[in-house]
Structure 1
Amino acid sequence: MEHRTSNALSRELGDALRRARRDAQLKTATLLAELGWSPGKLSKLETGTRGTSTDDIARLVGHIRAEPDIYEHIMALAHEPPSGYYTRPHDVAMPDSLRMLIMHEQMAKSIRSYETIVVPGLLQTADYARALMGEGPEVDQAVVDRMIRQGVLDKPLAPRCRFYIYEAVLHRVIGGPQVMYEQMLQLLFRGGVYLIPFTATLPRSLNSPFTYMTYADHFPITYVECGAASLFLDTFEATRAYQQSCNDLARVALSEEQSRSVFAKWADRFDRLREAAGATKDEVA
């Protein structure tokens, strides 16, 4: 794989190499001496800003004696062409262990997220996420992963985030009134959350959810989740199209203050529904 500028794939490869090297617990100075590499070459390789040959990559992961599955994963990335369209599989509704997503969220300067039927993953409460994911032994860990992933919102120098939610999300009851009440409070108090009402005329650019991330030092990335797989886009054409989508979102959404007012009304509605449900249970008892 040859590339002279950073792209989504080279950064994913660099991240995988860095983690493999750290897991090997081999001193960097020793590694560089044995490979005959400069510190700059290794640093640029691990940050995805230096082109290198697959032979060099194989030499590095072989030298640190990476586990076979790690070796195969890294070499698969090394041989993947830098097409600008990268598909990564994951369990349905559980992209939180997707390293490529987490890495680029952590690096982002700004994040614009648009959802049409569910609350964005970075804003979900634990109970909402659990109800959305269903049941199974893997769900508890997936919820933990999602909560950890949300730490990006509160870290020092956190990305500037705007979340756009279509009104249908509020009508879709996930987990019952109690869960929805707490989720509405989350939307109300988090900040940077904008509602797109049913009355808005949506352009074709807003037919599907997406997340658009910008960076200080490299090209923007668009993330699109598709059931059991996700797509990462960093071509010029995709970037230009999703920049327009972000402009369209800002145009059709309510203001932040208007959005908060709607979230407050829905929180009150679900609060009354949960109280009514509690009263009914007391009467039956």
Structure 2
Amino acid sequence: MEPRASNALSRELGDALRRARRRSAVKVGVLVEELGWSVAKISKLEHGTRGASLPDIARYAGRLHADQPTYDHIMSLAQAQNTGHVVRSHEIAMPDNLRALLLHEQTAEVIWSYQIALVPGLLQTEGYARALMTADAEHRVAERMARQGIFERLRPPEGRFFVLEPALHHVVGGPQVMYEQVLRLLFRGGVRVVPFADQLPASLTSAFTFMTFAEHPPVSYVEAGPVSLLSDEAETTERFRQACDDLDRVALGEEQSWSVFAAWVDRYDRLREERRGAGGGAVA
């Protein structure tokens, strides 16, 4: 089968195959010999730039001795029809282990993130993230912090973050948590405030993430409770590209945003001191 341009679905399948291989004890050389494939074919399949028949995918997963859930997941991806839109479910507001999202965050050149009620997950402090979670909080906080590791790489993606002003009013976890969180925004850089306005552009009434890449077309991501949608269909991604232009137009510049964050740091600092003075202690 001839090489092809990758898409979000084929990359997710390739990622599942690659992770299954790395978990197994089977070496690439063994796969080459037993399947009669070249190293290049395996590499392209695992990067989503080459297709394979269902029997070939089944042989590959079987040779890796994948457990039943892994095998079933791989085959469901292999049988899915590419529509340009990938729908995935997860626990409400908890996409931190969603591979369809993570593999794109990990390979993006630029990540645009726009949030209307909360600080973006990629910028949250441990305290802020913990306050949002109910069950199994420490494990979930660890997953969220691990996601943020993409910015600690040698060549990290460029993050362009936009926060609608109400997110700064929304007290998550108490004054101490908010003080630490807004302080991070102040010193993080690349974070801009979208101020209250009489009417936002229609493109900015919902949160979204838009990612661009060196080797394939952009991908948009939107989340609604327990369901997320990744799209690389051209018309859809062009609309999100235009929404990014709208963000650039209506958001405060970085220096103005710093002033806003500094004012909120002072406000939450006063609130936490007042709470301490009243004997309540700071809420962590």
TM over 0.5: yes
Q: Contact conserved, 1:163 with 1:192, CA < 8 A, in 2?
A: yes
Q: Residues of 2 paired with 1:199 and 1:77: CA distance?
A: 43
Residues 113-262 of structure 1: pairs in structure 2 closer than 5 A: 113-133=113-133, 135-136=134-135, 138-199=136-197, 201-262=199-260
Secondary structure at 1:263 match in 2: helix
Q: Give the unaligned 5+ runs of structure 2.
A: none
2:267 matched residue in structure 1: 269
Asked whether the equivalents of residues 5 and 51 of structure 1 are also in contact (C-alpha less than 8 Å), the reply is: no
Q: Distance in 2 between matches of 1:80 and 1:282?
A: 55
Q: Give the percent of matched residue pairs that are identical in Structure 1 and Structure 2.
A: 56
Give unpaired runs (5+ residues) of structure 1. none
* CA deviation string 1:140-172 (max 9, x = no partner): 111000001101122111111110000000111
Distance, in Å, in 2 between the alignment partners of 1:58 and 1:236 is: 31
Range with greater deviation from structure 2 (25-34 or 106-115):
25-34
What SS class does the counterpart of residue 192 from structure 2 fall into? strand
Quote the residue 2:45 is aligned against. 45
Residue 113 of structure 1 deviates from its aligned partner by 0.3
* Cα deviation code 1:159-196 (max 9, x no counterpart): 11110000000111000000000001010000000001
In structure 1, how many angstroms separate the alpha carbons of the residues matched to 2:228 and 2:13? 17
Give me the whole-angstrom Cα distance separating, in 1, the residues matched to 2:44 and 2:197: 49
Query: SS state of the match for residue 278, structure 2?
Result: helix
More deviation, 193-202/85-94: 193-202
Q: Which residue of 2 aligns with 1:29?
A: 29
Q: In 2 relative to 1, CA 143–282 (structure 1 residues): closer, same or farther, beyond 3 Å?
A: closer
RMSD: 1.5
Distance 2:187 2:54 in 1: 48
SS at 2:106's partner residue? Answer: helix
- Residue in 2 that maps onto 1:108: 108
Tell me the TM-score normalised to structure 2 length. Answer: 0.96
The answer as to whether partners of 1:87 and 1:230 remain within 8 angstroms in 2 is yes
- The alpha-carbon deviation at position 121 of structure 1 amounts to 0.2
> Partners in 2 of 1:61 and 1:102 — Cα distance?
22
Distance change (3 Å), C-alpha of 1:15 and 1:230: same
> Structure 2: how far apart are the matches of 1:191 and 1:168?
20
What one-letter code is carried by the residue in structure 1 that aligns with 2:38? S
- The amino acid that maps onto 1:97 is N
Question: How far is the alpha carbon of 1:4 from its aligned partner?
Answer: 2.4
**Residue 282 of structure 1, CA deviation:** 7.0
| Counterpart residue number, 1:64 | 64
How many residues align? The count is: 281
What's the offset of the Cα at 1:22? 1.4
Q: How far apart, in 1, do the equivalents of 2:224 and 2:164 lie? A: 18
Runs of 4+ in structure 1 off by over 6 angstroms are none
TM-score between the two structures when normalised by the length of structure 1: 0.96
